[in-house]
Amino acid sequence: MSTRPPLPPFTRESAIQKVRLAEDGWNTRDAEKVALAYTLDTKWRNRVEFASNRAEAKAFLERKWRKELDYRLIKELWAFEGNRIAVRYAYEWRDDAGNWFRSYGNENWEFAEDGLMQRRYACINDMPITAEDRKFHWPLGRRPDDHPGLTELGL
Protein backbone atom coordinates (compact mmCIF):
# COMPACT_ATOMS: atom_id res chain seq x y z
CA MET A 1 0.00 0.00 0.00
CA SER A 2 1.39 3.42 -0.91
CA THR A 3 1.03 6.39 1.40
CA ARG A 4 0.62 10.11 0.91
CA PRO A 5 2.52 11.87 3.73
CA PRO A 6 2.15 13.57 6.01
CA LEU A 7 0.05 10.91 7.69
CA PRO A 8 -2.45 11.18 10.52
CA PRO A 9 -2.55 11.73 13.39
CA PHE A 10 -1.49 15.27 12.56
CA THR A 11 0.68 17.63 14.54
CA ARG A 12 0.37 21.38 13.96
CA GLU A 13 3.39 21.26 11.66
CA SER A 14 2.20 18.24 9.66
CA ALA A 15 -1.33 19.71 9.35
CA ILE A 16 0.14 22.96 7.97
CA GLN A 17 2.22 20.90 5.53
CA LYS A 18 -0.84 18.89 4.43
CA VAL A 19 -2.79 22.10 3.81
CA ARG A 20 0.03 23.58 1.72
CA LEU A 21 0.37 20.40 -0.31
CA ALA A 22 -3.37 20.50 -1.04
CA GLU A 23 -3.14 24.17 -2.05
CA ASP A 24 -0.19 23.43 -4.32
CA GLY A 25 -2.02 20.55 -5.95
CA TRP A 26 -5.20 22.52 -6.64
CA ASN A 27 -3.16 25.42 -8.05
CA THR A 28 -1.86 23.07 -10.76
CA ARG A 29 -5.44 22.74 -12.05
CA ASP A 30 -4.49 19.18 -13.05
CA ALA A 31 -7.60 17.14 -12.20
CA GLU A 32 -5.84 13.81 -12.82
CA LYS A 33 -3.03 14.64 -10.41
CA VAL A 34 -5.26 16.25 -7.77
CA ALA A 35 -7.69 13.31 -7.78
CA LEU A 36 -4.87 10.98 -6.69
CA ALA A 37 -4.90 12.67 -3.26
CA TYR A 38 -8.34 11.14 -2.55
CA THR A 39 -9.39 7.60 -1.66
CA LEU A 40 -11.12 5.54 -4.34
CA ASP A 41 -14.35 5.80 -2.31
CA THR A 42 -13.93 9.45 -1.29
CA LYS A 43 -17.08 11.36 -0.33
CA TRP A 44 -17.41 15.05 -1.23
CA ARG A 45 -19.87 17.86 -0.85
CA ASN A 46 -18.93 20.97 -2.78
CA ARG A 47 -21.67 23.62 -2.91
CA VAL A 48 -24.62 21.61 -4.27
CA GLU A 49 -22.51 18.89 -5.91
CA PHE A 50 -21.72 15.54 -4.36
CA ALA A 51 -19.04 13.04 -5.34
CA SER A 52 -19.06 9.43 -4.17
CA ASN A 53 -15.68 8.29 -5.50
CA ARG A 54 -12.39 9.44 -6.98
CA ALA A 55 -13.66 9.34 -10.58
CA GLU A 56 -16.58 11.65 -9.74
CA ALA A 57 -14.21 13.99 -7.87
CA LYS A 58 -11.92 14.12 -10.91
CA ALA A 59 -14.87 14.88 -13.22
CA PHE A 60 -15.96 17.66 -10.85
CA LEU A 61 -12.46 19.20 -10.93
CA GLU A 62 -12.34 19.06 -14.73
CA ARG A 63 -15.66 20.93 -14.94
CA LYS A 64 -14.56 23.41 -12.29
CA TRP A 65 -11.35 24.43 -14.02
CA ARG A 66 -13.01 24.71 -17.43
CA LYS A 67 -15.34 27.32 -15.88
CA GLU A 68 -13.03 29.02 -13.35
CA LEU A 69 -10.26 30.50 -15.49
CA ASP A 70 -6.97 31.94 -14.17
CA TYR A 71 -7.68 30.13 -10.87
CA ARG A 72 -5.39 30.99 -7.93
CA LEU A 73 -5.99 29.57 -4.44
CA ILE A 74 -4.72 30.19 -0.91
CA LYS A 75 -5.58 27.78 1.92
CA GLU A 76 -4.94 28.29 5.63
CA LEU A 77 -5.12 25.83 8.51
CA TRP A 78 -8.04 26.56 10.83
CA ALA A 79 -7.99 23.55 13.18
CA PHE A 80 -6.90 19.90 13.34
CA GLU A 81 -7.31 16.82 15.51
CA GLY A 82 -6.30 13.23 14.86
CA ASN A 83 -7.09 12.48 11.21
CA ARG A 84 -9.16 15.63 10.60
CA ILE A 85 -8.20 19.08 9.34
CA ALA A 86 -10.36 22.19 8.92
CA VAL A 87 -9.21 24.91 6.52
CA ARG A 88 -10.38 28.27 5.33
CA TYR A 89 -9.50 29.45 1.87
CA ALA A 90 -10.03 32.02 -0.82
CA TYR A 91 -9.46 31.79 -4.53
CA GLU A 92 -9.71 34.21 -7.40
CA TRP A 93 -10.88 33.37 -10.89
CA ARG A 94 -12.58 34.83 -13.93
CA ASP A 95 -15.33 33.55 -16.16
CA ASP A 96 -15.13 33.40 -19.95
CA ALA A 97 -16.72 36.87 -20.16
CA GLY A 98 -13.83 38.37 -18.17
CA ASN A 99 -15.74 38.88 -14.91
CA TRP A 100 -13.57 38.36 -11.82
CA PHE A 101 -14.62 36.68 -8.58
CA ARG A 102 -13.14 35.92 -5.19
CA SER A 103 -14.58 32.77 -3.67
CA TYR A 104 -14.35 32.28 0.10
CA GLY A 105 -14.85 28.99 1.85
CA ASN A 106 -14.26 26.48 4.57
CA GLU A 107 -13.49 22.80 4.19
CA ASN A 108 -13.57 19.90 6.61
CA TRP A 109 -11.26 17.04 5.70
CA GLU A 110 -10.96 13.49 7.03
CA PHE A 111 -8.01 11.30 6.09
CA ALA A 112 -7.48 7.55 5.88
CA GLU A 113 -4.43 6.01 7.57
CA ASP A 114 -2.52 6.14 4.25
CA GLY A 115 -2.86 9.95 4.12
CA LEU A 116 -5.45 10.01 1.31
CA MET A 117 -8.47 12.21 1.90
CA GLN A 118 -11.60 10.14 2.40
CA ARG A 119 -14.06 12.96 3.11
CA ARG A 120 -14.18 16.58 1.92
CA TYR A 121 -17.02 18.91 2.84
CA ALA A 122 -16.84 22.43 1.37
CA CYS A 123 -18.92 25.58 1.88
CA ILE A 124 -18.21 28.39 -0.59
CA ASN A 125 -19.44 31.92 -1.31
CA ASP A 126 -18.58 33.91 -4.44
CA MET A 127 -18.06 37.66 -4.48
CA PRO A 128 -17.75 39.61 -7.73
CA ILE A 129 -14.61 41.77 -7.78
CA THR A 130 -12.96 44.06 -10.30
CA ALA A 131 -9.64 43.19 -11.87
CA GLU A 132 -8.18 46.03 -9.78
CA ASP A 133 -9.44 44.39 -6.55
CA ARG A 134 -7.51 41.17 -7.18
CA LYS A 135 -4.94 40.25 -4.55
CA PHE A 136 -3.53 36.99 -5.98
CA HIS A 137 -1.05 38.07 -8.66
CA TRP A 138 1.51 35.29 -8.90
CA PRO A 139 2.02 33.42 -12.21
CA LEU A 140 -0.38 30.50 -12.64
CA GLY A 141 0.76 27.51 -10.61
CA ARG A 142 2.17 27.20 -7.11
CA ARG A 143 1.87 30.25 -4.86
CA PRO A 144 5.39 31.59 -4.18
CA ASP A 145 6.62 31.08 -0.62
CA ASP A 146 7.02 34.85 -0.15
CA HIS A 147 3.45 35.66 -1.26
CA PRO A 148 1.23 36.67 1.68
CA GLY A 149 -1.34 34.23 3.00
CA LEU A 150 -4.96 34.94 3.86
CA THR A 151 -4.25 36.44 7.28
CA GLU A 152 -1.53 38.73 5.92
CA LEU A 153 -3.87 39.88 3.13
CA GLY A 154 -6.62 40.71 5.60
CA LEU A 155 -8.89 38.01 4.18
Q: 62: pLDDT confidence band, cut at 50, 70 and 90?
A: very high
Spatial contact of 19 and 117, defined as CB atoms under 8 Å apart = no
Query: What is the count of structural domains for the chain?
Result: 1
> Domain for residue 71, yes or no?
yes
Q: How many CA atoms lie within 13 A of 14 on its CB side?
A: 14
Residue 2 to residue 58: CA distance in whole angstroms: 20
Mean pLDDT, range 68-93, rounded to an integer: 98
Q: Could you tell me which residues come within 8 angstroms of residue 97 by beta carbon, excluding any fewer than 6 positions away?
A: none
**Domain harbouring 65, CATH code:** 3.10.450.50
Q: 1: pLDDT confidence band, cut at 50, 70 and 90?
A: low
> Domain for residue 79, yes or no?
yes
> Domain for residue 143, yes or no?
no
Q: What is the pLDDT of residues 98-141, one digit of tens each?
A: 999 999 999 999 999 999 999 999 999 999 999 999 999 999 99
What domain range is 100 assigned to? 12-133
Q: Could you tell me which residues come within 8 angstroms of residue 44 by beta carbon, excluding any fewer than 6 positions away?
A: 50, 51, 52, 56, 57, 60, 119, 120, 121, 122
Q: 142: pLDDT confidence band, cut at 50, 70 and 90?
A: very high
> Domain for residue 142, yes or no?
no
Mean pLDDT, range 82-111, rounded to an integer: 98
- pTM for this predicted structure: 0.96
> Domain for residue 149, yes or no?
no
Q: Could you tell me which residues come within 8 angstroms of residue 49 by beta carbon, excluding any fewer than 6 positions away?
A: 60
Q: How many CA atoms lie within 13 A of 65 on its CB side?
A: 19
> Domain for residue 114, yes or no?
yes
**H-helix or E-strand spanning residue 35:** helix 31-35
> Domain for residue 112, yes or no?
yes
Q: 16: pLDDT confidence band, cut at 50, 70 and 90?
A: very high
> Domain for residue 66, yes or no?
yes
Judged against a pLDDT cut of 90, whether residue 2 lies above it is answered with no
Judged against a pLDDT cut of 90, whether residue 87 lies above it is answered with yes
